[in-house]
Amino acid sequence: MINAIADFFQNLFSPVVNLLGYVLLFFHQNLGAPWWLSIALLTVVVRTLLFPLTVKQVKSMRAVQDLKPDMDRVRAQYQNNPQKQREEMAKLYQDRGVNPLGGCLPILVQMPIFIGIFYVIRLFGGTPGRTEPRYESFVDGGILWFQDLSQRDPTYLLPILSAITMLAATEITLKNVDPQQRWLMRLLPVGFTVFLLSFPAGLFVYWITSNLVTLVQNYVIYNHGPGRRPATSDKSSSKPTAPTSSATAYSKPGGDQNGQVQNGSSDDATARAAKVAKRKRRKKKK
């Protein structure tokens, strides 16, 4: 039953499997890269092509975050009228040009690729006890402790590395996520890795490389790209409040950073003028 389901999905994703298999063979046969490195190079190419979608995803998430005050206002205003609330939300998205599902696009695109990589490894390395490997060299095309790319890692080091790299890539984005959702996102890499625990080592080569590329991309996007928070909001929140006396001096006409000195000079001039007027009145009396 399981094999029948696997064959069905392999036929369903056969265009993706054939394309990924062709690129993988190009790296191995034309460039002479070992199988494990060919998988890593294929991953870098795929993630590079998907980078514009990743940037678009971050922009969409940022736009939704910027809409949160207005969304909260609509929810509060129409909390007893779900139909009107949905209409106002849709109108708000349309007026601001925001697509709430835009953040899901890269995930939807990556899923067929991930499934395709799984079937490429299954095809090239064979299925133990069922199908022979198409390329005998693929079986021992690994490195270090995982030589057989078609078998699971008996030491479980690859799944652990997968969880660590995925968590590291996720941590960069957590500062832009609601605090209540952060722990859930931290648990996702662990759950995902447990699900893949018995998958072939070649698939973990793809996934670890993908996590490392994601780590670099997230750093660039969230520190130098559209995911970076405006610096003004950080400075305004951390700027200390000016003393009351200084604020008063700055608010007076002609006040600047030397406002207190100028006010002192003005007071001295007024006192001198009063003394001169007093002397004149004395002379007139005489």
Output the DSSP codes for 116-135.
HHHHHHHHHH-BTTTB--SS
How wide is the angle at C-alpha 193 spanned by C-alphas 190 and 198, nearest 5°?
145
Given a cut of 80, is residue 216 above it in pLDDT?
yes
For 240, left (φ over 0), alpha (ψ -120 to 50), or beta?
Answer: beta
Specify if 110 maps to a domain. yes
Q: Is 139 a member of any domain?
A: yes
The count of structural domains within the chain is 1
Is residue 15 domain-resident? Answer: yes
Maximum mean pLDDT: which of 34-43, 47-56, 90-99: 34-43
DSSP assignment letter at 103: G
Please tell me which residue, 79 or 6, carries the higher pLDDT value. Answer: 79
Q: 19 lies in a domain?
A: yes
**Residue 27 confidence (pLDDT):** 94
Q: Answer whether residue 146 shows pLDDT above 50.
A: yes
Q: Which domain holds residue 155?
A: 2-228
Q: Which of 2-11, 111-120, 217-226 has the lowest mean pLDDT?
A: 2-11
pLDDT score recorded for residue 270? 65
Domain membership of residue 236 (yes or no) is no
pLDDT of 75 over the 60 cut: yes
Q: Is 241 among the domain residues?
A: no
**If you average pLDDT over residues 214-242, what whole number do you get?**
64
Helix (H, G, I), strand (E, B) or coil at 196: coil
CA dihedral sign, ordered 223, 228, 233, 237: negative
Q: Is the pLDDT score of 255 beyond 50?
A: no
Predicted TM-score (pTM) of this structure:
0.68
Q: What is the pLDDT of residue 37?
A: 94
Angle, helices 68-77/51-66, rounded to nearest 10 degrees = 50
The answer to whether position 259 is within a domain reads no
* Average pLDDT value for residue range 254-259: 45
- pLDDT-derived band at 28 (thresholds 50, 70, 90) equals very high
Residues whose CB is less than 8 angstroms from the CB of residue 57 and which lie 6 or more positions away in sequence, other chains included: 102, 103, 104, 105, 106
* pLDDT, average across residues 116-137: 83
Residue 264 domain-assigned? no
* 194: its two tokens: 């447990």
Please report the pLDDT score of residue 204 as a whole number: 92
